[in-house]
Amino acid sequence: MATRSTNSIDVFGATLTRRQFVKTSGILAVGVSVVGTSPLRGDTPKGTVAKNSLDPSLASSWLEIHPNGTVTIRTGKNDFGQGSVYTAYRQIVAEELSVPFEAITTVVTGSTDQTPDGGGSFGFLNDGTPNLRKVAAYTYQALLDLAATKLGVPKDKLTVKDGVASGGGKDISYGDLIKGQQLSLTIPVKGDLTNIIGLTVDGNPPMKPVSEYTVIGKSFPSSAIREKVSAKANWATDVRLPGMLHGRIVHPKTLGSTLISAGKLDKVKFPSAQVIVKQNLVGVVAPTEWEAIQAAQQVAAETKWTDWKGLPGTAKLYQYLKKESDWTSTPVMKSGATKGDTAAALASAKKKLSATYQLSYMKHAPIGPTMAIGDVQADGMVHIHTHNQNPQELRGEIAKMLGTTIDKVVVHIYPGPGHYGRSNGGNAGAEDEAVILSQAVGKPVRVQWMRADDIQWSTQSPASFSDVELAVDDQGKLAAFQIDHYMPAMQDDRLVGAVLAGLPTTPAPDVRGDFVTSTVNNISDEWLYAQAPNVIERGHGTFQVGQKASPIAVGLRDHSMRTPVQFQQNYPRELAISEAAVLAGADAIQFRIDNLKEERAIGVLKTVRESSGWDVRPSPKPGVATTGKEPVRGRGVSLMLRDGTYWACVCHIAVTPDTGVIKVEKCTFAVDPGVIINPTHLKRHVEGGAMMGISMALLEEVTIDESGVTQDDWNSYPILTMADIPEIKVELIPNPKVGKYGGGSEAANALAAPAIAAAFYDATGKAIRRLPMKPAYVLEALKA
Amino acid sequence: MVTINVNGARREVQAPGDTPLLYVLRNDLLLTGPQFGCGLAQCGACSVLIDGKEVRSCITALSDVGTDQEITTLEGLPGRWAKQKGLSQEEAKNTLHPVQHAWIEEQTPQCGFCQNGMMIKATELLESNSNPTPEQIKAAYTTSGISPILCRCGTYKAVMESVQRAAAIMAKGR
Ligand code: FES
Ligand code: FES
């Protein structure tokens, strides 16, 4: 029999309650209480969050400690390949709780009925304070309080090692502390469950000092890797529900076409298939996948769409962006680095440069196209099985689309192909289409996009350009730097199936959007050259290309992709800084060091200089060539601060002038994230990001005609292969005195492009200011 | 009804003969190691071994697979190794292929979606070349098959290191 108790104590703003004593097992469940406004999105009906959810307004589990000392942790963030939830998160929690890494036996991620906080799966380390760290810190304090009472020893006389608290000659394990009781710790939380950030744990519980770390800093393996490698993982693509149909979408002919008539299904060939039409959304379902694919092809061939021409086409894209886009409706943003009188300094300078830098549209291009299973049940419950970076936001969006409440929607999360930011606002493409088709047929429907759907109908990273004006003084230092970044909106979170079907969804990016969905172009590349006396950085935003002109409001939909916005801003800045060094007649690394103040930035540059075998001298290299069959060689550097981590990169390249082919021969990274949590995994992230970054820099450009994307497979949208990888070296710089851990992974993507472009100048004496550096554009630059 | 030989067992399948092997494996036989990546023989996510050769199951029709041909999927790698090493049934159950061990030791995958193809290609390579050079590894993953095996997460360096580690493990006969 359980005995009721009203015991509760305050733990740094959290509340520890002993609810009851139980005879058998016991549990310490750490739940949440809400401070501030409702955590549910304003325009979503605010019904009670039903059984299918860990109700954020009631105590529920983020973290459970069991009587045998094992720990379960839960996070709304979901693994996209970095493994941080299976490595770093376990290490962080183990550290704060003072338990061994192995004690954390279960990690529950993503699914909306099993995790408390939501939020997009990005910025996993978020300047060193993910929610779980604070939760663990509160829990540790609560455990100390329990131990102090139990042992009769003051809290400050207790120490904990491997989950055993000791003091005054006595000790007790966490397991024994909670055995036979049901304890609940309620902690303060704020935020919006279904937006891009999700809920955030509030307050400031004491954290373990970095000097006492024993678990953080070691290379523990990821438990997810063993499962995937041994074919034990249950991928989203593997989920099969009873009665499930396979679905394929017949997407419109152009990004602005409306449906004239859907093709008629050949019932002789495809007796079990069905066509579903909802406004401009045409879907085909069948009991087997092969029948669905073939039937969709047959229907597609006979479906009639209106024509549409409303895009500028690749050849005229930059002219369109410069001359025809509306840069005046959206407020211009200025960075906090603004200082001095840049205009005056530029006017009076002798050595100056004025240049424009261009970035292409790029695809997230996941190795597996988006897929999801929608299961709209007779009782009104909606289940979605998929792989998604923001399941709670998806849940809110699906509720909105169906005009139901979010308690009716459950998103179940499984591993899947990384898609690098595409679904951090809740959708990658197939989710809502699966729900619409399921609702139409009353059965679960698995929608799998084909490769062409994924290239032509997904969002992309927007094209952009930046205008730079800079000057260097007689001492060879940066005297003035002015940069104007121009980029269409980057975060279209609309459900594309809902758009096609004419169902409610979140608005398209507009001047008045929230902080992510507006057209505002914030400055997100932190200015580093603090010695420069005159600086101005401005961000100019506009609408997505073709979206307003498209009769179906589609056009080129954009979405954040690895190091979003900062990639688009750091590339022009860092390339321009390398060009400023040329103007100053200085070595590109030394020029940077001479204009910096921050020691960590200088540190990564010195490390990368040493490690890469950099030859100190101005660019270009003596004996450059712009013609010939023989490759010419050069090296370039780049620098960035992102999420608390300093990055420097050197690329050594070979350019063959006659063919315009650039090969990166060596790529060296220096990374200072402050505290390093898991060296092996950080190194693997950097290597991977570096390769993707080289791929983007050299190869990747979404090509468009006036109607849509002209690529449809891996031949037309090529990515880097193993044949083209350089020698890669990663120097990790542990810097524990920083006292926190910065982000890893995605930032690595951004460093290669400006370093390669600077290396190109070094090798040829010609500037290249356009991405990607594919042969056609390289040859143009060489001729210029 | 078609009979095929998968991972050492004879399996009967009902699917029409023109069905790509990928869907037969994944949907009929629930062997989900091979993944759908492109359906166009351009990426390698769907790779399997047929008689020891890396083949794209997304473009291989069921009817083109001979009854006597041996299909090995990711699930079948441990059994393939056990058979090659003459391990007992009991040992075979608790083993992984050296390629899989190497992939765990090197912490190779990022998202892992392409890694089926990466491991299948490694197995094909190491069965014919027990100690490949970096250039031979690169050639295996780019020019030896119908297309390069692609990884969007950029794990190519990790894969190269893992192939070499697998070679070392195999040399020890573990
Ligand atoms: S899925 Fe078969 S090669 Fe891409
Ligand atoms: S590990 Fe993600 S695609 Fe290769």
pLDDT at A612 over 50: yes
Q: Could you report the per-residue pLDDT of A292-346, keeping only the tens digit for each?
A: 999 999 999 999 999 999 999 999 999 999 999 999 999 999 999 999 999 999 9
Interface test with chain A among B152, B162, B164, by most A beta carbons within 10 Å: B152
Tokens of A718: 């090529």
- Last residue in a domain, options A187, A213, A229: A229
**Same-domain check for residues A212 and A251:** no
Same domain for A189 and A50: yes
Ligand 2 centroid–CA B140 distance in Å is 18
Which ligand 2 atom lies nearest to the CA of residue B154?
4
If asked whether residues B30 and B62 sit together in one domain, one would say yes
Residues A160 and A67 in one domain: yes
Q: A158 and A260, same structural domain?
A: no
User: Based on the domain organization, do A246 and A277 belong to the same domain?
Assistant: yes
User: Quick check: A288 and B155 CB within 8 A?
Assistant: no
- Same domain membership, residue B63 and residue B84: no
Query: What are the residue ranges in chain B where pLDDT is below 70?
Result: 174
> Contacts of residue A680 in chain B, CB cutoff 8 Å?
107
- Ligand 2: residues with CB < 6 A are A 81, 367, 417-418; B 109-115, 151-153, 155
Query: Each residue of B96-108: pLDDT tens digit?
Result: 999 999 999 999 9
Q: Is the dihedral of CA A603, A606, A611, A612 positive or negative?
A: positive
- CA separation for the pair A388, A196 (Å, rounded): 12
Containing structural domain, residue A715? 599-783
Report the first-to-last Cα separation within chain B, whole angstroms.
39
User: Are residue A701 and residue A730 in the same domain, yes or no?
Assistant: yes
Does the structure show a pLDDT above 70 at A60?
no
Q: What is the CA radius of gyration of chain A?
A: 28
Q: Does residue A221 lie in a domain region?
A: yes
Residue B120 and residue B160 in one domain: yes
Which one of B46, B75, B104 terminates a domain?
A: B75
Same domain, A127 and A264: no
Please check whether residues B130 and B48 belong to one and the same domain.
no
- B81 and B70 both lie in a single domain: no
Q: What is the mean pLDDT of residues A365-380?
A: 98
B59 and B25 within one domain: yes
A126-135, A435-444, A723-732, A772-781: least confident range? A126-135
For the domain that residue B86 is a member of, what is the CATH number?
1.10.150.120
What pLDDT sits at residue B157? 98
**Residue at A764 is within a domain:** yes
Partner A contacted by B70 (CB < 8 A): no
Q: Taking residues A253-257, report their average pLDDT.
A: 98
Same domain assignment for residues B95 and B158: yes
Cβ-defined contacts of A98-102 (< 8 Å, 24+): A98/A140, A98/A160, A98/A161, A98/A162, A98/A163, A98/A208, A99/A69, A99/A71, A99/A162, A99/A163, A99/A174, A100/A162, A100/A163, A100/A215, A101/A215, A101/A218, A101/A220
Q: Is residue A314 part of a domain?
A: no
Final residue in a domain of this structure, among B26, B46, B75: B75
Which residue carries 């490949």 as its tokens? B132
Are both B164 and B107 inside the same structural domain? yes
Residue A578 scores a pLDDT above 50: yes
Q: Mark which of A426, A456, A486 sits at the end of a domain.
A: A456
In this structure, the answer to whether residues B33 and B86 fall within a common structural domain is no
Does residue A296 sit within a domain?
yes
Query: Atom of ligand 1 at shortest distance to CA of B35?
Result: 1
Residues B84 and B26 in one domain: no
Q: Which of A45-54, A145-154, A486-495 has the lowest mean pLDDT?
A: A45-54
Domain harbouring A43, CATH code: 3.30.365.10
Q: Are B41 and B85 within one domain?
A: no
**Min distance A17 CA to chain B CA atoms (Å):** 40
Is A164 within a domain?
Answer: yes
Both structure tokens of A169: 């000659």
The token pair that represents B143 in the structure block:
């020019």
The whole-angstrom separation of Cα A678 and Cα A741 is 11
Which residues, 6+ apart, have CB-to-CB distance to A136 below 8 Å?
A: A63, A92, A93, A95, A96, A97
How many whole angstroms separate alpha carbon A348 and alpha carbon A351? 9
Same-domain status, A138 and A223: yes
Residue A121: predicted pLDDT: 80
- The residue segments making up the domain with residue B167 are 77-172
Counting the structural domains of chain B, the total is 2
Q: Which of A456, A478, A501 is the last residue of a domain?
A: A456
**Whether residue A190 is found in the same domain as residue A294:** no
Nearest CA in chain A to B20: A290
- The burial class, CB within 10 Å (0-12 / 13-18 / 19+), for B168 is middle
- Mean pLDDT within A570-599: 98
Asked which of B75, B98, B117 is the last residue of a domain, the reply is B75
The residue assigned the tokens 């906090």 is A336
For residue B44, the domain's CATH number is 3.10.20.30
Q: Write the pLDDT tens digit of every residue in A229-246.
A: 999 999 999 999 999 999
Domain membership of residue A316 (yes or no) is no
CA B153/CA B34 separation, integer angstroms: 18
Q: Which ipTM score applies to this complex? A: 0.98
* A35 and A160 in a common domain: yes
Which of A751, A735, A642, A643 lies closest to A125, judged by CA? Answer: A643
Does residue A550 lie in a domain region? Answer: no
DSSP assignment of A89-125, as one string? HHHHHHHHHT--GGGEEEEEES-TTT-S----S--SS
Strands A304-305, A259-261: pairing is antiparallel
Domain match, B101 and B18 both: no
Beta strands in A381-501 (DSSP E): 382-386, 409-413, 445-448, 460-461, 464-472, 478-488
> Nearest CB to B35: which of A237, A289, A692?
A237
Q: What's residue A65's pLDDT?
A: 85
> What is A290-339 written as a DSSP string?
HHHHHHHHHHHHH-EE-----S--GGGHHHIIIIIS--SSSPPEE-TT-B
Question: A145 near A177, Cβ under 8 Å?
Answer: no
Asked if the model's pLDDT at residue A57 lies above 80, the reply is no
Asked whether residue A81 carries a pLDDT value surpassing 90, the answer given is: no
Do A370 and A404 belong to one domain? Answer: yes
Query: Does A327 fall in a domain?
Result: no
The residue whose two tokens read 């104007």 is A484
Count of the separate structural domains present in chain A: 3
pTM of the model: 0.95
From B35, B54, B58, B115, the mutation candidate for ligand 1 (largest count of ligand atoms within 8 A of CB) is: B58
Contact of A293 with A247, CB cutoff 8 Å: no
Least confident of A44-53, A401-410, A552-561, B22-31: A44-53
| Stretch A650-660: mean pLDDT | 98
Point out the ligand 1 atom lying closest to the alpha carbon of residue B56: 2
Same domain, A625 and A741: yes
